[in-house]
């Protein structure tokens, strides 16, 4: 069969997509980048916020059209949206175009779903908490030649009131450290230049392991970082990690970054808000003071630290004072990179039952105010790079004389990039670039 897969949502979903594609290729199927040519179309969905759910449904309906205009014989929906509505008896009738629904625990059933001959809609929803990590012989079909995400754990034990993920991905299971290092070794040997560790909360790694182990063997994320840095110490490659949790981003993790040159001094710390009363309503176990302390500590231990965060504006009960406190916090800390979400309500979330939901127009106004403030902060930070030289991983050559790459302080898909004005550079190699220009989110330069 010829198969096309559309991967939506986060890096964890992208790993699932690559595992499903790897299994399909291993089973003798072939892949296409053009849905019109595909006999089987798979949409791996996201539902974290309502706009993501809307986008997923729009794409599913768009892909269904290829049953008339293309070669599509079967449409399969996998991932978080399917999992969220697994008990909804109208799921199949609401999307009659779909031939199979697979939950987040069913990536390993993708070949079965593709080769299924039944006419009625197939549904496979195993308990996501029972899903095993892919073993090292599981083929992955990578979607980038330059970087690859590695999941260090699956699921989440936390109870943020605005979040559905624990219901969709199950409770936290940490992956054996040696498997993480071996997979990284295999990826680097296959030509990848950057390993990006991901999870719902990378720094919560090991919390589930300790409970089980007789010896109470202390295994936390700093051990993963240190072992991985050793595994890759002879390689010219980067290690990055995303989605830390403010409560478990400990000094030992920061020290592990400081001690290992091949780990990017890049701290992605989704704080979600900075008002202690809103954080309490969100179920986030830290305070405004604790956050000021955390970012001060990171910068004291690691003077090269680059900070990224994401926040939610318009959370139920967010007063003018809460919002001003958040704005002041952002101006004080000066994040290198910042993403803003508007609160996304849904009746299956605990936060739905909170009082004083914020009017939509005010939510949008607050979103835009934060973005405007951050644009200035980002421009100022980028201007400080002018005249300095940084190592850049070359990824694209969009036009003659222009290449695009990233530095250690630019993560893929979410941050700005570095433009290099040169004629002949090799893709997927590292070069030293002297920065000559700074823009709101991007920078540019020439070979040093
Ligand atoms: S930590 Fe909170 S926001 Fe993150 S996945 Fe877990 S419940 Fe969701």
Torsion angle, alpha carbons of 216, 222, 226, 231, to 10:
80
From the CA of 65, how far away is ligand 1's center (Å)?
Answer: 35
Domain count, the chain: 3
From the CA of 171, how far away is ligand 1's center (Å)?
Answer: 11
| pLDDT recorded at residue 210 | 58
The answer as to whether 231 is a domain residue is yes
The pTM for the full model equals 0.96
| pLDDT recorded at residue 390 | 98
Atom 4 of ligand 1, nearest CA residue: 200
The answer as to whether 152 is a domain residue is yes
From the CA of 389, how far away is ligand 1's center (Å)?
Answer: 37
| pLDDT recorded at residue 435 | 98
Regarding whether 113 and 68 lie in a shared domain, the answer is: yes
Regarding whether 216 and 273 lie in a shared domain, the answer is: yes
| pLDDT recorded at residue 214 | 47
CATH value at residue 395: 2.40.50.140
The token pair that represents 12 in the structure block = 């964890």
Atom 2 of ligand 1, nearest CA residue: 160
Regarding whether 277 and 184 lie in a shared domain, the answer is: yes
Mutate to test the pocket of ligand 1, among 154, 156, 202, 349 (most ligand atoms within 8 A of CB): 156
| pLDDT recorded at residue 95 | 94
| pLDDT recorded at residue 118 | 84
The answer as to whether 138 is a domain residue is no
Each residue's pLDDT tens digit, 301-337 = 999 999 999 999 999 999 999 999 999 999 999 999 9
Do the strands 194-198 and 306-313 form a parallel or antiparallel pair, or are they unpaired?
Answer: unpaired
Point out the ligand 1 atom lying closest to the alpha carbon of residue 284. 2
Mutate to test the pocket of ligand 1, among 129, 157, 165 (most ligand atoms within 8 A of CB): 165
Stretches where the chain sits below pLDDT 70 are: 210-218
Point out the ligand 1 atom lying closest to the alpha carbon of residue 272. 3
Nearest to 285 by CA among 243, 247, 325: 247
Regarding whether 86 and 104 lie in a shared domain, the answer is: yes
The answer as to whether 136 is a domain residue is no
| pLDDT recorded at residue 217 | 54
Do the strands 266-268 and 238-241 form a parallel or antiparallel pair, or are they unpaired?
Answer: unpaired
Q: Which residues line ligand 1 (CB under 6 A)?
A: 156, 158, 160, 163, 165-166, 200-201
Regarding whether 160 and 195 lie in a shared domain, the answer is: yes
Residues counted in the chain: 448
């Amino acid at each position: 069969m010829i198969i096309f897969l559309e991967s939506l949502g986060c890096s964890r979903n992208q790993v699932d997509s690559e595992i499903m594609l790897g299994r399909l290729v291993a089973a003798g199927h072939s892949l296409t980048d053009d849905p019109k040519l595909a006999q089987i179309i798979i949409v791996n969905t996201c539902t974290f916020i309502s706009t993501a759910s809307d986008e997923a449904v729009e794409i599913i309906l768009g892909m269904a059209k290829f049953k008339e205009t293309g070669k599509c014989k079967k449409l399969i929906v996998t991932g978080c949206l399917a999992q969220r509505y697994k008990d909804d008896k109208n799921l199949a009738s609401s999307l009659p175009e779909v031939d199979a629904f697979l939950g987040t625990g069913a990536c390993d059933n993708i070949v079965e779903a593709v080769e299924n001959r039944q006419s009625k809609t197939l549904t496979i929803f195993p308990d996501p908490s029972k899903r095993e990590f892919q073993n090292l012989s599981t083929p992955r079909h990578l979607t980038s030649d330059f970087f690859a995400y590695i999941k260090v754990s699956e699921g989440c034990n936390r109870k943020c009131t605005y979040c559905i993920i624990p219901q969709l991905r199950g409770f936290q299971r940490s992956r054996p450290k040696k498997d993480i290092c071996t997979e990284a070794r295999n990826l680097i040997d296959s030509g990848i230049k950057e390993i990006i560790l991901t999870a719902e909360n990378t720094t919560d790694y090991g919390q589930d392991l300790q409970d089980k182990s007789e010896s109470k063997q202390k295994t936390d994320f700093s051990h993963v970082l240190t072992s991985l840095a050793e595994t890759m110490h002879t390689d010219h490659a980067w290690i990055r990690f995303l989605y830390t949790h403010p409560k478990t981003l400990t000094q030992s993790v920061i020290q592990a970054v400081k001690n290992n040159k091949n780990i990017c001094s890049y701290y992605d710390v989704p704080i979600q808000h900075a008002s202690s009363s809103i954080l309490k309503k969100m179920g986030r176990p830290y305070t405004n003071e604790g956050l000021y302390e955390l970012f001060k500590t990171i910068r004291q231990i690691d003077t090269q630290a680059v900070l990224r965060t994401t926040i939610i504006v318009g959370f139920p009960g967010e007063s003018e004072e809460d919002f001003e406190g958040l704005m002041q916090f952002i101006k004080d800390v000066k994040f290198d990179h910042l993403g803003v979400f508007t609160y996304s309500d849904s009746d299956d979330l605990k936060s739905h039952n909170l009082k004083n939901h914020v009017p939509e127009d005010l939510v949008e106004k607050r979103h835009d105010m934060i973005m405007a403030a951050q644009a200035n902060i980002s421009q100022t930070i980028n201007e400080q790079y002018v005249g300095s030289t940084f190592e850049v991983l070359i990824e694209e050559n969009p036009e003659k004389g222009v290449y695009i790459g990233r530095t250690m302080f630019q993560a893929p898909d979410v941050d700005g990039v570095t433009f290099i004005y040169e004629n002949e550079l090799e893709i997927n190699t590292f070069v030293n670039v002297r920065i000559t220009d700074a823009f709101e989110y991007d920078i540019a330069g020439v070979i040093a």
